[in-house]
């Protein structure tokens, strides 16, 4: 009996301790929670078809869909994060992909894709529409972009979707344990891990580590449960060969001059406008003008003009514009039949007149028309390629509000991308300023080079400038709604107007006023300012000095060439400067 006394004492002490712990809440405070997390809430999955996406070991807010055992991503998500070269064609209700020679078409809800009229069945729906959202099968996307995905078993559905495969830290679990939502014993349980199971260690803290489990949960384990740390490097998928778009690339620097032709008679002045010029390789007459929303155009194309240009050693890249006549670019480019009409007729005319290339100068493209315009360029490039026609495309200096022109895609499918490196300040500007300061020119080239290969980039120079007048406002003007600068909200004490002038015309104007220009280091231009009859006149001259500064920049970027708007406005001394730096 005496031998049992110590055991009984210990037993009763344990009972007393437990009783105290229960009565004071100490047991509750230091015990591990057995509460399980709401997994639908954890994954933010509330639909039976939703699939949560984990990317680079981070649970994202993006969702995939699971239909009939196949995983899909919505079109917008694909375009923004995986592959941005598909086009949704509203007319045929199809997804299109344009190669160098063909258009791959996938009808909505089809298990087949078509090249021409030839179908290839893959055994699952490639593209589907659910509740007005377009979804693309992940397995089909693997034909275009290198990524990996893994759908975990069980619900709620969740998956890994990765575009990068860096090495990661691992550890083994010492014993069967619970992975918790947060680092703490009171946090809810996400899932269980078995003894010896390997987890990915994402973040180590003082007592807990953030881990990812084999069943695709990201939560927390106590550090004391982790052993045998190591590192693993995943095997990336095979690289996807990028689509090759054969381009025409001249073996000489391009020196293009635009020739404004507004009627057939103007064609006869070609030799006259070229008199005194030198070094020009390419002439671009403004010949084609979109005339309606059905894909038709008017033209000033002329056989004699082309023959004369060719006899002078010049190529002819005829310009096509969208602003001479009033047309709706969305209506034109959002319809496959209209795009085809325009392309067919342009190619036919180019062949008829023995033209060497087309210069697309569409300056009225709205944001909603952007994807359709880009598809037009893709489709046009197929036909230009097939007919050995140079395709060049004119663009504004890049700004966020013109991003829908998609210069990156132009850089793939076009032969040359031309930056219109002018109109920094234009006819409607609320303040006076340079047409093309050196900073503006450099910015245009640098931003374009971020997405377009340098061997395709041409920078266009202005052969004109603007004479600005700042007229003090009257009391009536000051009360008008135009008295405040829209951008800054500041009061403007004068009315700004401008008049475009040729290089020589602007210089003559300054000289006639008895004003001597001074060099402006910021714009790299000669600047003149004077007051007459209470009106302030300002001129940032385009002259040999400013053209030299711009050509030095063009040379430093090693781009494909230069263009000039327009023939007849330049002083002929610029040609030697252009040739000096171009060659």
Q: pLDDT tens digits for 364-403?
A: 999 999 999 999 999 999 999 999 999 999 999 999 999 9
Residues 169 and 105 in one domain: no
Phi, then psi, of 140 in degrees rounded to 5: -70, -35
CATH number at residue 441: 3.20.20.80
Q: What is the pLDDT of residue 88?
A: 98
Residues 293 and 207 in one domain: no
- Give the number of other CB atoms < 10 A from CB of residue 372: 24
Q: Are 263 and 209 in contact (CB under 8 A)?
A: no
Residue with tokens 């231009």: 525
Q: What is the pLDDT of residue 484?
A: 60
- In a domain? residue 9: no
Question: Last residue of a domain, which of 182, 201, 232?
Answer: 232
Q: What is the pLDDT of residue 482?
A: 58
Per-residue pLDDT tens digits of the chain, which is 583 residues long: 556 666 655 565 556 544 545 555 544 566 899 999 999 999 999 999 999 999 999 999 999 999 999 999 999 999 999 999 999 999 999 999 999 999 999 999 999 999 999 999 999 999 999 999 999 999 999 999 999 999 999 999 999 999 999 999 999 999 999 999 999 999 999 999 999 999 999 999 999 999 999 999 999 999 999 999 999 999 999 999 999 999 999 999 999 999 999 999 999 999 999 999 999 999 999 999 999 999 999 999 999 999 999 999 999 999 999 999 999 999 999 999 999 999 999 999 999 999 999 999 999 999 999 999 999 999 999 999 999 999 999 999 999 999 999 999 999 999 999 999 999 999 999 999 999 999 999 999 999 999 999 999 999 999 999 999 999 998 676 655 556 666 666 778 899 999 999 999 999 999 999 999 999 999 999 999 999 999 999 999 999 999 999 999 999 999 999 999 999 999 999 999 999 999 8
- In a domain? residue 212: yes
Residues 169 and 116 in one domain: no
Q: Are 33 and 188 in contact (CB under 8 A)?
A: yes
Residue with tokens 């979109």: 290
Read off the pLDDT of residues 265-309 as tens digits, 9 standing for 90 and up. 999 999 999 999 999 999 999 999 999 999 999 999 999 999 999
Q: What is the pLDDT of residue 74?
A: 98
Residues 173 and 321 in one domain: no
- In a domain? residue 20: no
Q: What is the pLDDT of residue 474?
A: 83
CA angle 531, 534, 540 (to 5 degrees): 35
Q: Are 435 and 527 in contact (CB under 8 A)?
A: no
Residues 200 and 270 in one domain: no
Residues 192 and 80 in one domain: no
Q: How many angstroms separate the CA atoms of 579 and 328, rounded?
A: 40
**Could you tell me which of 446, 540, 545 has the C-alpha nearest to residue 498?**
540
Total tally of structural domains belonging to the chain = 3
- In a domain? residue 447: yes
Question: Last residue of a domain, which of 128, 151, 174?
Answer: 151
Burial of residue 404, with CB atoms counted within 10 A of its CB: 0-12 exposed, 13-18 middle, 19 or more buried? middle
CATH number at residue 195: 2.30.30.40
- In a domain? residue 476: no
Residues 270 and 225 in one domain: no
- Provide the β-strand partners of residue 232: 168
* DSSP string of 2-50, one letter each residue: TTHHHHHHHHHHHHHHHHHHHHHTHHHHHSPP-PBP-HHHHHT--STTE
- Give the number of other CB atoms < 10 A from CB of residue 493: 11
Query: If DSSP codes are grouped into helix, strand and coil, which group holds residue 224?
Result: helix
- In a domain? residue 410: yes
**Three-state secondary structure of 287-308:** EEEECCCCCCEEECCCHHHHHH
- Give the number of other CB atoms < 10 A from CB of residue 97: 19
Q: Which two tokens stand for residue 247?
A: 């381009």
Residues 226 and 284 in one domain: no
Residues 413 and 358 in one domain: yes
User: Reading across the β-sheet that carries 118-121, which strands appear in turn?
Assistant: 86-89, 94-98, 103-107, 112-115, 118-121
Q: What is the pLDDT of residue 27?
A: 46
Residues 265 and 211 in one domain: no
Question: Last residue of a domain, which of 105, 122, 151?
Answer: 151
Residues 274 and 410 in one domain: yes
Q: Is 69 left (phi over 0), alpha (psi -120 to 50) or beta?
A: left
- In a domain? residue 83: yes
Q: What is the pLDDT of residue 492?
A: 81
Residues 305 and 444 in one domain: yes
The CA-based diameter of the chain, rounded to the nearest angstrom, is 130
Q: Which domain holds residue 568?
A: 254-463+542-582
- In a domain? residue 521: no
């Amino acid at each position: 009996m005496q031998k049992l006394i110590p055991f009984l004492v210990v037993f009763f002490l344990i009972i007393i301790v437990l009783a105290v712990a229960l009565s004071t809440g100490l047991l509750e405070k230091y015990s591990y929670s057995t509460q399980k997390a709401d997994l639908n809430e954890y994954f933010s999955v509330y639909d039976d078809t939703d699939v949560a996406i984990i990317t680079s070991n981070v649970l994202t807010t993006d969702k995939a869909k699971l239909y009939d055992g196949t995983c899909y991503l919505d079109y917008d998500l694909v375009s923004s994060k995986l592959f941005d070269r598909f086009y949704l064609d509203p007319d045929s209700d199809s997804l299109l992909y344009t190669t160098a020679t063909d258009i791959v078409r996938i009808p909505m809800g089809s298990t087949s894709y078509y090249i021409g009229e030839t179908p290839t069945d893959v055994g699952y729906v490639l593209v589907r529409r659910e509740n007005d959202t377009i979804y693309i099968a992940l397995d089909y996307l693997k034909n275009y972009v290198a990524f990996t995905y893994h759908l975990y078993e069980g619900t709620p559905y969740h998956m890994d979707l990765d575009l990068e495969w860096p090495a990661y830290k691992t550890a083994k679990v010492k014993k069967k344990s619970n992975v918790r939502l947060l680092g703490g014993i009171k946090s809810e349980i996400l899932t269980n891990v078995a003894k010896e199971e390997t987890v990915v260690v994402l973040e180590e803290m003082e007592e807990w580590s953030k881990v990812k489990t084999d069943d695709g949960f990201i939560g927390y384990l106590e550090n004391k449960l982790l052993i045998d740390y190591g590192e693993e490097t995943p095997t990336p998928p095979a690289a996807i060969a990028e689509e090759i778009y054969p381009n025409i690339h001249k073996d000489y620097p391009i020196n293009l001059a635009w020739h404004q032709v507004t009627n057939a008679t103007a064609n006869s002045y070609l030799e006259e406008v070229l008199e005194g010029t030198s070094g020009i390789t390419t002439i671009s007459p403004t010949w084609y003008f979109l005339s309606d929303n059905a894909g038709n155009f008017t033209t000033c194309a002329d056989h004699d003009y082309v023959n004369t240009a060719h006899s002078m050693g010049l190529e002819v890249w005829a310009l096509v514009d969208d602003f001479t006549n009033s047309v709706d670019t969305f209506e034109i480019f959002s319809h496959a039949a209209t795009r085809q009409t325009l392309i067919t007729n342009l190619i036919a005319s180019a062949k008829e007149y023995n033209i060497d290339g087309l210069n697309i100068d569409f300056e009225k493209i709205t944001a909603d028309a952007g994807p359709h315009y880009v598809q037009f360029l893709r489709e046009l490039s197929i036909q230009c390629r097939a007919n050995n026609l140079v395709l060049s495309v004119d663009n504004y200096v890049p700004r966020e509000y013109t991003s829908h022109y998609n210069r990156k895609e132009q850089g793939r499918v076009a032969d040359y991308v031309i930056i219109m490196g002018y109109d920094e300040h234009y006819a409607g500007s609320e303040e006076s300023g340079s047409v093309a300061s050196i900073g503006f020119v450099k910015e245009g080239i640098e931003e374009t080079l971020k997405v377009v290969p340098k061997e395709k980039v041409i920078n266009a120079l202005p052969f004109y400038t603007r004479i600005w007048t700042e007229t003090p406002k009257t009391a009536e003007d000051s009360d008008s709604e135009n008295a405040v600068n829209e951008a800054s909200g500041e009061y403007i004490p004068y009315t700004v107007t401008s008049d475009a002038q040729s290089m020589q015309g602007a210089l003559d104007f300054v000289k006639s006023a008895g004003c001597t220009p001074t060099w402006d280091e910021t714009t790299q231009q000669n600047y003149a300012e004077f007051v007459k009859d209470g009106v302030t006149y300002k001129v940032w001259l385009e002259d040999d000095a400013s053209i030299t500064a711009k050509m030095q920049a063009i040379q430093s970027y090693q781009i494909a060439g230069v263009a000039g708007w327009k023939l007849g406005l330049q002083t002929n001394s610029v040609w030697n400067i252009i040739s000096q730096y171009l060659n």
